[in-house]
């Protein structure tokens, strides 16, 4: 099941690259009124501590917490994107959505199997 987790996390990281291409910050309340240059920088820099926290958890004795948090995030993230699919600033296309929802499926599958086997 580790491979399902790795695929889900990889899909999330690819989504974040795609999110920059699609200017996802335009859907965030605190960023949408900023200019694209400033919002891009803030959006990008904000991911550094987030990635750091995830990697810390996954490479520490707390890796199980990391698994659970990432899985729950993948699921919640997919649901949030589903809710905002008609947002006027949403520029994600079918390929982008495939990445987002596939990550959510991986998080769901991994979490269910992790909880059943634990």
Q: How large is the average pLDDT for residues 45-68? A: 97
Instruction: Return d(Cα 118, Cα 115) in angstroms, integer.
Output: 5
Q: How large is the average pLDDT for residues 53-63? A: 97
Look at the chain and count its residues.
118
Q: Where are the domains of the chain?
A: 2-117
Q: Is the pLDDT of residue 117 over 90?
A: no
Task: Write the Ramachandran bin of 87: left for phi over 0, alpha for psi from -120 to 50, otherwise beta.
Answer: beta
pLDDT above 70 coverage of the chain, percent: 100
Q: Is the pLDDT of residue 118 over 80?
A: no
Query: Which pLDDT score, from 0 to 100, does residue 59 have?
Result: 97
Q: Is the pLDDT of residue 115 over 80?
A: yes
Q: How large is the average pLDDT for residues 31-51? A: 96
Q: How large is the average pLDDT for residues 13-20? A: 97
The whole model's pTM is what? 0.94
């Amino acid at each position: 099941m580790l491979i399902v987790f790795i695929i889900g996390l990889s899909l999330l990281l690819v989504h974040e690259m795609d999110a920059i291409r699609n200017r996802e910050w335009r859907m965030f309340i605190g960023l949408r009124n900023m200019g694209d240059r400033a919002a891009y920088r803030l959006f990008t820099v904000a991911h550094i501590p987030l990635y750091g926290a995830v990697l810390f958890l996954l490479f520490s004795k707390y890796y199980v917490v990391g698994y659970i948090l990432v899985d729950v995030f993948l699921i919640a993230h997919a649901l949030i994107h589903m809710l905002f699919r008609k947002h006027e600033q949403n520029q994600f296309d079918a390929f982008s959505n495939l990445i987002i929802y596939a990550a959510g499926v991986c998080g769901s599958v991994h979490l269910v199997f992790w909880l059943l086997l634990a």
